[in-house]
Chains A and B, each alone.
Chain A
Amino acid sequence: MTASMNRRAVLAAALALTAVGAQAAPAKRIVSLGGAVTEIVFALGAGDRVAGVDDSSIYPAAAHKLPKVGYYRGFSIEGVASLNPDVVLASDQAGPPEALEQLRRLGKTVVMLPSAPTVDALAARIDGVATALGEKAAGEQLVARIREQVAAATRSPGGQNVLLVSSRAGKLEGAGRETAADAVLRLVGAHNVLAGERGYKALSAEGAVSLKPEVIVTTTMSVAASGGLDAFLAQPGIAVTPAAKSRRVVVMDDLLLLGFGPRLPEALKALQDGLAGRK
């Protein structure tokens, strides 16, 4: 991603650090707002300290069984307060801002974590969570391992023309630049055929054909929304692409592929294997 985004991520991390620095004891009861944050808490082995999560926290399965305080962009203030956390770990996309402000007024420590889809932001995210949990060493280890594995994964550039398709309610959308999808494709050295567009764009049948993708990458939820892989490939536009003709489609779990969580190295590995046709 861009340099300015990296700077912002680092700044957010610095803010998170100062916020945590002010608080002495490691958190014992946590409410986590944002699936990416929850995944880190569990990856650091602190899943048993989580008192509640938001609706987007669907991995790991244990997080799914915890009390839910609503979707992290519109969570219930009183719901969070009722779980009596001593720290609230929130993605910087959690909100609305007024709700976070009210949590602070209730005397809750709120730690904001950067959500940008970059390796640097992921490192800052892990560091922020680890500091709040009092697991700084474990956090540093995890970051070092991820950086090393990501560096290894990105050493062999793929170079294919890839279209990343997401389909909610059966309507096809292609991922342009400035998306987590584009960032993942960049990391494995693939060429995003829709890099000329910004964000997710509705994909017309003609548009999909004219992009001539060699490989199509999509998510399990998108395939399910289309009614199975065959139905997905038979859709107008998709059906006549080089990728569909040679059935070169990589299907990956939504959160694994696009979540930029601690499983990023696994995601990159699986994506590379898929792109290279090793299954």
Chain B
Amino acid sequence: MTAIPGAMARATPTRRRANPVVVLAGMVAVLLVLMVASAGSGAVAIPFLKVPGLLANASPDGMEALWRSVLLEVRLPRLVFAVIVGGGLAIAGAAMQALFRNPLAEPGLIGISLGGAMGAVIAIVLNANSLWAMAPAAFAGSLVATALAYSLGGRQPGVAGVLLAGIAINAMCASVIGIFTTQANDVQLRNLTFWNMGSLAGASWAMLAWLGPWVAVLSALLIREWRAMNALLLGEREANHLGHAVKPLRRRLVVLAALLVGPLVAVSGTIVFVGLVVPHLVRLSTGADHRWLLPNTLAGGAIAMTLADWLARTVVIPAELPIGIVTSLVGGPFLLWLLLRKGT
């Protein structure tokens, strides 16, 4: 596998760019506006101006009681969940692209996503299809797959070994999924299909209480590695000469990404595209310096997922679209537009 640093190198600053602090602040502001707008719309029409009053009033009655519980029990947890999942997937994608020095890299490359899917499929076919059984199974699956890919591929010099082992492990996970799928009954098959399309519908405060801090801490640990990731852009040997021990660095990045993405896959299913494309969107607009790329990607992923969830919830009221479909449907054309605009 040859790395293609060209696409990323081209994105390094050649022209005057906006002040990174301003960009980050702007993205956070956009995220907050989006969150407020998203919280204010949905199948249950809640008058926007009543929202602050509803949140303050602990014991409303009649229609307002329903509005308040929809807001607090359904909409807000889901909104926060979208922010967490989007940010986590995107920053892990940026780290993988830095590690593999390849613009096509994403967390799924080393088995995190398919390993998680394998765990979930096994749980579904064994009839353990509540979130509290599926999530641990999916997390365990993604950790096992990633650990195998890393420990077997890591014996080769360079990053190509991990990549190839990841491809092999992914293929094996896919066939295990296939075997269990043929054993599944009609109901389980439908469960599998829906799990695969990704969903944010299972959000509850109890889940967010551990998922939020988990993603925040791991993201912070990833951002701490920004210097090493910048050095990796030049090449592994060059990074070594710059004083970054590459092998331990590689291990740290893989472990962090697996710990970060595993639980996200476990609770939200496979949501493709965000981890792959959001880092590119950010890189195209603010450059490849990981000091800013990583936090911007975190904010960008949160924006992308909040927007996608908003559309998923509101386009086909009173039904809704699977979020995985919306992220790809909206994100694909957006990336193309950005590419064409930069090309001229």
In the assembled complex, which residues on chain B have CB atoms less than 8 Å from the CB atom of A170?
none
B191 A75 Cβ-Cβ under 8 A: no
Residue in B131, B184, B319 with the greatest tally of chain A CB atoms within 10 Å: B319
Which of A69, A76, A106, A202 counts the most chain B CB atoms within 10 A? Answer: A76
Name A178's closest neighbour in chain B (CB-CB): B185
B residues within 8 A CB of A76? 43, 201, 313, 317-320
A80 within 8 Å of B by Cβ?
Answer: yes
For this complex, 30 residue pairs linking A to B, each with C-beta atoms less than 8 Å apart, are: A55-B319, A67-B318, A71-B319, A73-B190, A73-B194, A74-B194, A74-B199, A76-B201, A77-B74, A78-B44, A78-B70, A78-B74, A78-B320, A79-B43, A80-B318, A81-B66, A81-B74, A82-B45, A83-B318, A84-B66, A96-B202, A97-B129, A98-B204, A102-B73, A105-B73, A107-B69, A179-B185, A179-B186, A199-B185, A202-B182
Chain A 38-68 per-residue mask, 1 if CB under 8 angstroms from chain B, else 0: 0000000000000010010000000000011
The answer to whether the Cβ of A93 comes within 8 Å of any Cβ in the partner chain is yes
- Bound CA–CA A82/B45 (angstroms): 7
Q: Which residues of B contact A95 (CB under 8 A)?
A: 129
In the complex, what distance in Å separates the CA atom of A106 from the CA atom of B202?
15
Task: Known contacts A73-B191, A74-B322; decide if A97 and B131 are in contact (CB<8 Å).
Answer: yes
Q: Is the CB of A68 within 8 A of B318?
A: yes
Q: Does A14 contact B (CB under 8 A)?
A: no
Q: Is B130's beta carbon under 8 Å from chain A?
A: yes
How many residues from A make CB contacts under 8 Å with B?
36
Contact B131 A98 (CB under 8 A): yes
Residues of B within 8 A of A82 (CB): 42-45, 317-318
A-B residue pair count with CB separations less than 8 angstroms: 102
Other contacts beyond A74-B194, A96-B130, A200-B185: 12, CB < 8 A: A69-B318, A76-B319, A78-B42, A78-B320, A79-B43, A80-B318, A81-B43, A81-B74, A98-B204, A99-B202, A107-B66, A199-B184
Which chain B residue lies CB-closest to A106? B69
Q: Which of B42, B69, B184, B320 contacts A70 (CB 8 A)?
A: B320
Listed from nearest, the 8 A-B pairs whose CB atoms lie closest are A79-B318, A70-B319, A82-B43, A78-B43, A76-B320, A98-B202, A82-B44, A199-B185
Contact indicator per residue, chain A 90-119, by CB within 8 Å of chain B (1) or not (0): 000101111100100111000000000000
Residues of B within 8 A of A77 (CB): 74, 201
Instruction: Give the distance to chain B from A205, nearest Cβ to Cβ, in Å.
Output: 18
User: In the complex, A106 Cα to B70 Cα: how many Å?
Assistant: 7
B44 touches A81 (CB 8 A): yes
Determine the chain B residues whose CB is within 8 A of the CB of A198 once the complex forms: 185
Q: Tell me the B47-78 residues at the A interface (CB within 8 Å).
A: 65-66, 69-70, 73-75
Query: Which residues from A are CB-within-8-Å of B182?
Result: 201-202
